[in-house]
Amino acid sequence: MSAELLLNVTPSETRVALIENGVLQEMHLERIGNRGIVGNIYLGKVSRVLPGMQAAFINIGLEKAAFLHASDIVSNNTIDEPVEGATEKHAPDIRELVHEGQYIMVQVVKDPLGTKGARLTTDITIPSRYLVFMPAAKHVGVSQRIESEEERNRLKQCVAKHNDDTGSFIVRTAAEGAGEDELEQDAKFLKKLWSKILKKKKKSRKEVIIHEDLTLAFRIIRDFVGADLERVRVDSKFTFQQLKAFTEEFVPALSELLEYYPGERPIFDLFDVENEIQRALNRKVELKSGGYLIIDQTEAMTTVDVNTGAFVGHRNLEETIFNTNIEATQAIARQLRLRNLGGIIIIDFIDMNNEDHQRRVLHSLDHALAKDRTKTNIHGFSALGLVEMTRKRTRESLEHILCSECPICQGRGNLKTVETVCYEILREIVRVNRAYDADKFVVYCAPLVSEALINDEYHNLAELEVFIGKLIKIQTESLYNQEQFDVVMM
């Protein structure tokens, strides 16, 4: 499988596209005015303790107070890779852990999402190329993605000698095959960085950011170490030079893959990325066979509905349904990555009575999701025939970054019909007439509603005039949306 990264850098934003076999698979975006804060370390002040929720709100200097759960104060497993020996601990009462007015060092593990503030942990982790430093921890962990037992033991022995009272390390997947000198260099770098963080914390007397994570371009390079990349193309010469210096010092393996793209044609046009982004904002996703998906993202969960559409198959209905569902698993896995959909995901495959077909569809979905670097869990078919799964969510989805709520429908996705609005207007006139004494009424409304009142609803309007004994005048307001109207007394 061929894969490459495209970095489109402008003064206002950085966009990164992961292309696999010529197809866009992942999209990362960071705007200067709205940078993600996952990984940042803050000195925060406890503003409120909620025993009923076993949580506290922490002021870290952002617009919304951040959220710290009791389990995140004692958790030892906040890194983004599966780790050997990670265990769950029972969290004590939140009132025993923090109190209002207390200053506490915390790290962001989830960006603010919608109306929710950032999610925090006190279990600080600082990643580098090969290692993750965990202050105050005593054991050495190794990523489960390193399968060789001999290599795991070697890495443990190399890293264990750098453990001391300041903390311990977790060995990342990228460390497989790394030499002892490289691991030692990473360990020294992380300890030095931690020392600087502690010094800044001691000097601080209020809510302040103590350590800021790398910008998107550098994080992508750091996180894709070990990935099977053919090249990394950057369309900004200044960013290219920065990344070249960064990779030569920390990630030599990727330094040779970096390529400056000076072409006049926009870099995202090479693989039709701009059009793919636009398609990723649509509800409907067409399948090659003629079937399609309907993807709806809500506050509580994301739902995916699979339909056969124009696909009629070649043998029988059962085979048609099975083939459509199999094709849908590949498309669903790609859309989850591309749109960065997280949390609870419910998939409504076309109903299958054959248990072997169900098992093969689940296996196909699991295999397709294996390429996803974000953790996913598939819980199988429910009693209603729905597939329930979860995908770890640490940042906003592509839709939430690029779009905002419709000011007309307030996110409902539909408008009241012209007929409905007309009847609301008639009811409002009756209500106002009973409450106030007026000689006549003027109704200001949208063009389509005005036209309907004057034509289709003329008889109802005339009957109302007779009923209340007052004149009703209709006034068209071209700037009003379909649901907007005003009843004015004269």
pLDDT in tens, 226-263: 667 899 999 999 999 999 998 887 777 788 999 999 98
The DSSP bridge pattern shows strands 141-142 and 131-135 to be unpaired
Classify domain 418-489 by CATH number.
3.40.1260.20
User: 41-211 maps to which CATH number?
Assistant: 2.40.50.140
Sign of torsion, CA 399 401 407 412? Answer: positive
Neighbours of 164 (CB within 10 A): 9
Q: Helix, strand, or coil here: 461?
A: helix
pLDDT at 91: 61
Predicted pLDDT of residue 15? 95
What CATH number has the domain spanning 3-34+217-273?
3.30.420.60
Structure tokens at 302: 């994301």
Q: What local confidence, expressed as pLDDT, does residue 113 receive?
A: 76
Residue 278, token pair as written in the block: 């636009």
- Helix (H) or strand (E) run with residue 44 in it: strand 41-50
CA dist 382 and 273 (Å) reads: 36
pLDDT at 312: 62
Domain ranges of the chain: 3-34+217-273, 41-211, 283-402, 418-489
Q: How many residues does the chain have?
A: 490
Q: Which residues of the chain have pLDDT under 50?
A: 75-89
Q: What is the pTM of this model?
A: 0.72
Q: Does domain 283-402 have CATH number 1.20.1340?
A: no
pLDDT score recorded for residue 76: 39
Residue 80 has a pLDDT of 39
What pLDDT was estimated at residue 219?
A: 84
What order of strands is seen across the sheet that includes strand 292-297?
A: 284-286, 292-297, 301-307, 343-348, 387-391, 376-381
Cβ neighbours for 232, distance < 8 A, ≥ 6 positions apart: 4, 5, 7, 221, 243, 254, 257, 258, 259
Q: What is the pLDDT of residue 482?
A: 93
